[in-house]
Structure 1
Amino acid sequence: MKKGFIVLFCLVAMAGQAFAADWPSKAINLIVPYGAGGNSDFNARALAKYLPDLIGVPVVVTNVPGSGGTIGAAQVKNAKPDGYTVLVHQLSLNIAEAAGMADYGIKDFELGCVISKSAPEVLVALTKAPFNNIPEMIAYTKQHPGEIKFTANTGATTMWTAIGLLKAGAKLNVVSSGGSGERLQVVLGGHADIVPLNYNMIEPYVNDGTLKILGSVSDSRSELIPDVKTLREVGVNVGYDYMNTLIFPKGTDPQKVEKLCGAAGEIINNNQSYRAEMKANYQPPTWMNVKDTNAHWYKQRDELMAIKDTLQGK
């Protein structure tokens, strides 16, 4: 019986390997749960240009926007786990679960690999603001509670930042805002004092002296602004990067996940045309294997779930 079982097990394993080796045999659909032109869309399309040369089939990018990315994510969650439907998403998937915007999370998917890291997100203010960094800002707001307006949206990463600053002692007046384009106009017009924005959006305004950077919201210092300290470095327990990731329906064959992620890694690490395109868009070419990607996402999820009641306004 034991010998027969071993033979059967080996045959099943060999069949699985052969099945994965035959994959893919048709186009792969990358689902971006946001509209065209955003960061996730840009990175999905940049990778999709080069993947067919390595995997031998077309790669199509489909935008499924709505409800903060939850509509597109749900579509992939409910898709057949055959490796042909893949989500391109970032930390908003964790935010949606912790904030109660979605009744599912990363445990309902198979996480693949990180394929990009966006330009660093920074906190900026007009140059005339009476503080030059995060510790000075916190000290100022303690002396002038409620005077300084900070923009954040419920259930968004900006709210995570606001919660971290408030827990660190800042006495801010947290006000709602729209997307990044609207936040830029809000701070330039003097309607809010501090806003979170990606560095590539505000570099010209920093260079001409209109805005100044108070600190970085990223997990680690960026080579673009190496002298800017992160929030974690100055005692504010929050930090994140928009790490776009290939995410598969639950139950997808791990060999298929590894095969697509391996091809993505080859492009990101070695394709000079792709790397030049990333650097031109203020993004350091970034790839993370499946194991490390899982560790990153679940660590981040733990941090967010620890403040889920605050994120949900309870």
Structure 2
Amino acid sequence: MHLSRRDVLAGGAALVAMTAAGGVRAQDYPSRPIELVVPWGPGGGADQLARKIAQLGEPEIGKPMPVVNIPGGTGATGMAKLLANPADGQTAAIYIADSHALLAGKNPRWTMDDIAPVAVLIQAPSFIFVAQDSRFKTWDDFAKEAKEKAGALKVATLGFGSVDDFTLSFLGSKGVKVNQVPFSKPSERYVSILGGHADALYEQAGDVGSFLNGKQMRPLLVFGAKRFEAFPDTPCSKEVGFDIALPQFRSLVVRGGTPPENIKKLSDALAKVAASDGYKAFLKEQFADANSFIDQSGAGAFVAKQLEDMKSAIKQAS
């Protein structure tokens, strides 16, 4: 069969187009540093995770993972950055429960089809914390005043439309009504109860570990079906009559449509990171489940189930 010069050029152009559409394939992936987007400000739990993954992941992945903080919109601004990049796995984002919660609201800016979960990296329960010297000695003390003085107590949260918001709205529907005070900057949120700007804080223990270890904060309630091992005297939400548990999870995602072989290659590298002593120590510091890690084969189903639970909590609260 005779091929003209025009045929050869046309075939070459088609090949280039196919390569561009498919992105960098596994044999060449990653072809350059993987940009790691954190849709939150420096110092928070998502940022801490990103920097630990970047530190431990470079030897396994073979390329640096520079961290870029892009806060705003309960994670929406950073996610927009991810989705504006090619679907090749060269840009990834720390994706947490609070960003995921936006999909349970009205007019979400992305869908489950727009992202591809690479791995779940942290699973940890949420708590209600107060300052060490708070007048509230127990959860019952706090709940009683919240019922008697509806909306008078201030609880520091990440923001409206977050897991914090869903959980506190659920409590409100059961009579424990508080005034939610959003703080977009993690550092400001953490210290709000120390400076008297809020009566309580909705947060994960790992994010405020230094304050807990320094005896500046203490937990009143852990959300879940059982007490948390590190705080055996703190009641869980189920035992005090609130059957709600929207655990915080932190995962790594890439843009939907990324070649599956690239996702698997990145997930396999993260599995080695998760098995390392350094990462196990990090999970302990974060008061997280030692078995937090879920690879790409199960991460998608896990994230989808979390969205179902969030929608259920909203329905119950309304």
TM-score (norm 1): 0.77
* Aligned counterpart for 1:81 among listed residues 87, 111, 116: 87
Long gaps (5+) in structure 2: 1-21
Aligned with 2:193: secondary structure?
helix
Tell me the equivalent position of 1:197.
Answer: 203
Tell me the equivalent position of 1:258.
Answer: 264
Aligned positions, number: 291
Tell me the equivalent position of 1:276.
Answer: 281
Tell me the equivalent position of 1:124.
Answer: 129
Tell me the equivalent position of 1:4.
Answer: none
- Give a deviation string over 1:248-273, Cα, whole Å, max 9, x none: 1111112211221111111112x123
Change (3 A) 1:235 1:52: same
What is the alpha-carbon distance in structure 1 between the residues aligned to residue 66 and residue 96 of structure 2?
19
Aligned with 2:274: secondary structure?
helix
Task: Letter of the 2:83 partner, please give it.
Answer: K
* Aligned counterpart for 1:163 among listed residues 166, 169, 178: 169
1:293 deviates by 2.0
* Aligned counterpart for 1:133 among listed residues 134, 139, 162: 139
Task: Letter of the 1:249 partner, please give it.
Answer: R
Tell me the equivalent position of 2:78.
Answer: 72
- Give a deviation string over 1:236-291, Cα, whole Å, max 9, x none: 2432333221111111112211221111111112x123333443454455311224
Task: Letter of the 1:176 partner, please give it.
Answer: V
Task: Letter of the 2:81 partner, please give it.
Answer: Q
- Give a deviation string over 1:172-222, Cα, whole Å, max 9, x none: 2424242554445443455543332333527756875x7542211357643
Which moves more between the two structures, 231-240 or 296-305?
A: 231-240
* Aligned counterpart for 2:103 among listed residues 97, 104, 116: 97
* Aligned counterpart for 1:301 among listed residues 290, 302, 307: 307
What is the alpha-carbon distance in structure 2 between the residues aligned to residue 83 and residue 149 of structure 1?
41
Which moves more between the two structures, 189-198 or 33-42?
A: 189-198
Matches for 1:210-249 after TM superposition, within 5 Å: 212-217=218-223, 221-249=227-255
What is the alpha-carbon distance in structure 2 between the residues aligned to residue 26 and residue 130 of structure 1?
52
- Give a deviation string over 1:126-163, Cα, whole Å, max 9, x none: 566466225x6445544554554444432232211211
1:21 deviates by 3.5
Tell me the equivalent position of 2:54.
Answer: 48
Task: Letter of the 2:56 partner, please give it.
Answer: Y
Tell me the equivalent position of 2:13.
Answer: none
What is the alpha-carbon distance in structure 2 between the residues aligned to residue 59 and residue 191 of structure 1?
37
What is the alpha-carbon distance in structure 2 between the residues aligned to residue 27 and residue 248 of structure 1?
14
Long gaps (5+) in structure 1: 1-15
Aligned with 1:48: secondary structure?
helix
Change (3 A) 1:232 1:55: same
Tell me the equivalent position of 1:176.
Answer: 181
What is the alpha-carbon distance in structure 1 between the residues aligned to residue 189 and residue 150 of structure 2?
22
What is the alpha-carbon distance in structure 1 between the residues aligned to residue 55 and residue 63 of structure 2?
11
Task: Letter of the 1:157 partner, please give it.
Answer: V
Aligned with 2:128: secondary structure?
strand
Q: CA RMSD, aligned part only?
A: 3.3
> Percent identity at matched positions?
24
Aligned with 1:30: secondary structure?
strand
What is the alpha-carbon distance in structure 1 between the residues aligned to residue 42 and residue 218 of structure 2?
30
Change (3 A) 1:62 1:228: same
Task: Letter of the 2:204 partner, please give it.
Answer: N
Aligned with 2:268: secondary structure?
helix
